[in-house]
């Protein structure tokens, strides 16, 4: 199945893509595409539905992040040897783990906001793993049983904040909207081998990244098992598994995003994302965001 969330930001409804590529409304069946929907039993119940009987979503409706109410957004850094080489970084002997704030999760076609003071905005196409059942101290050979599905993630990064500011990478990874997810969550039964997923990314129509998960240093099963040693992974957790070479930081000289740039990324298995870079405007963006999230007294 290809599961989606559609509608205005903050008010998304659950949906599914039918055989004709139409978004069908699942809101009469499940409350959201989140931890409650991702267990094997819940996914089996969804597969038994005749999607043609569900109402169609409005044509051209916005797609949100394909997973809602994400408990934790974990990332793996430098997980392709050729990407490590382009950034002049030694190949890690263990997975490099960091977090993005869950507020970074965004729809696959939402704008990328060029933040105040940002000068080194970069792209990273990645395979993301969505956990379906709790995983704590799981063996590598059992790890994929805990995966509900997979999706695309653009691990957008502000490199100055990530690498030149003191502290952890989190500051450079967590800005609002810097983790577009989707367009859909492809359930694990439709991804025969997570170590054979093609990934690509273009900026303004120029191919910048081409890769395949077969060249990952640490595969998906290893990553899930490894993380489960240090944290109890929960249904709805999202793990971004690293990016192949071709990021802006790796160019000589480095190449970073600017206002008006268009980013397109995709995979033959996971669909495509499209984003435009826009400049932060406090009145149009910040004020409305704060008003929407302040309690009404």
- Read off the pLDDT of each residue in 179-191 and give the average, rounded to a whole number: 98
Calculate what percentage of the chain has a pLDDT beyond 90: 89
Task: Please indicate, yes or no, if residue 283 is contained in any of the structural domains.
Answer: yes
pLDDT band at 66 (very low <50, low <70, confident <90, very high): very high
**pLDDT number for residue 297:** 39
Nearest C-alpha neighbor of 271 from the set 149, 159, 112, 139: 149
- Read off the pLDDT of each residue in 196-222 and give the average, rounded to a whole number: 97
Task: Please indicate, yes or no, if residue 169 is contained in any of the structural domains.
Answer: yes
Measure CA 118 to chain center.
21
> Does residue 112 carry a pLDDT above 70?
yes
Task: Please indicate, yes or no, if residue 28 is contained in any of the structural domains.
Answer: no
For the stretch 115-170, pLDDT in tens is: 999 999 999 999 999 999 999 999 999 999 999 999 999 999 999 999 999 888 99
How many separate domains does the chain show? 1
Query: Rounded to whole angstroms, how far apart are CA atoms 187 and 130?
Result: 9
Task: Please indicate, yes or no, if residue 32 is contained in any of the structural domains.
Answer: no
Average pLDDT taken over every residue of the chain: 95
Task: Please indicate, yes or no, if residue 170 is contained in any of the structural domains.
Answer: yes
> Does residue 296 carry a pLDDT above 70?
no
Whether 83 contacts 48, CB under 8 Å: no
**pLDDT number for residue 258:** 97
For the stretch 218-247, pLDDT in tens is: 999 999 999 999 999 999 999 999 999 999
Nearest C-alpha neighbor of 221 from the set 245, 250, 244, 191: 191
pLDDT band at 63 (very low <50, low <70, confident <90, very high): very high
Residue 100 lies in domain: 69-293
**pLDDT number for residue 295:** 62
- Read off the pLDDT of each residue in 176-184 and give the average, rounded to a whole number: 98
pTM > 0.85: yes or no: yes
Measure CA 249 to chain center.
20
Two tokens, residue 262: 């268009």
> Does residue 22 carry a pLDDT above 60?
yes
Task: Please indicate, yes or no, if residue 148 is contained in any of the structural domains.
Answer: yes
Task: Please indicate, yes or no, if residue 206 is contained in any of the structural domains.
Answer: yes
179 vs 87, which has greater pLDDT?
179
Task: Please indicate, yes or no, if residue 204 is contained in any of the structural domains.
Answer: yes
> Does residue 87 carry a pLDDT above 80?
no
Query: Looking at residue 94, which CATH number applies to its domain?
Result: 3.90.850.10
């Amino acid at each position: 199945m290809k599961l989606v969330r559609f509608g205005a930001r903050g008010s998304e409804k659950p949906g599914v893509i039918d055989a004709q590529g139409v978004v069908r409304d699942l809101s009469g069946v499940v409350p959201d595409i989140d931890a409650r929907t991702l267990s094997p039993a819940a996914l089996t119940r969804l597969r038994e539905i005749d999607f043609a009987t569900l109402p169609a979503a409005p044509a051209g409706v916005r797609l949100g992040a394909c997973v809602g109410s994400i408990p934790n957004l974990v990332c793996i850094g430098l997980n392709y040897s050729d990407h490590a080489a382009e950034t002049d970084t030694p190949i890690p002997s263990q997975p490099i783990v960091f977090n993005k704030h869950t507020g970074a999760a965004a729809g696959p076609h939402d704008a990328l906001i060029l933040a105040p003071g940002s000068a080194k905005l970069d792209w990273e196409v990645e395979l993301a793993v969505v956990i379906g059942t709790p995983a704590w101290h799981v063996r590598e050979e059992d790890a994929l049983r805990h995966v509900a599905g997979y999706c695309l993630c653009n691990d957008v990064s502000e490199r100055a904040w990530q690498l030149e500011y003191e502290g952890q990478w989190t500051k450079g990874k967590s800005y609002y909207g810097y983790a577009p997810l989707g367009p859909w969550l492809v359930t694990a039964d439709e991804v025969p081998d997570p170590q054979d997923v093609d990934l690509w990314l273009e900026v303004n129509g120029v191919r910048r990244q081409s890769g395949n998960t077969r060249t990952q240093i640490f595969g998906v099963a290893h990553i899930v098992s490894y993380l489960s040693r240090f944290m109890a992974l929960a249904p709805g957790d999202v793990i971004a598994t690293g990016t192949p070479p071709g990021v802006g930081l790796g160019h000589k000289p480095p190449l970073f995003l600017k206002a008006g740039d268009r980013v397109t990324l995709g995979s033959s298995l996971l669909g495509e994302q499209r984003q435009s870079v826009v400049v932060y405007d406090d009145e149009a963006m910040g004020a409305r965001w704060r008003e929407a999230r302040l309690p009404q007294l």
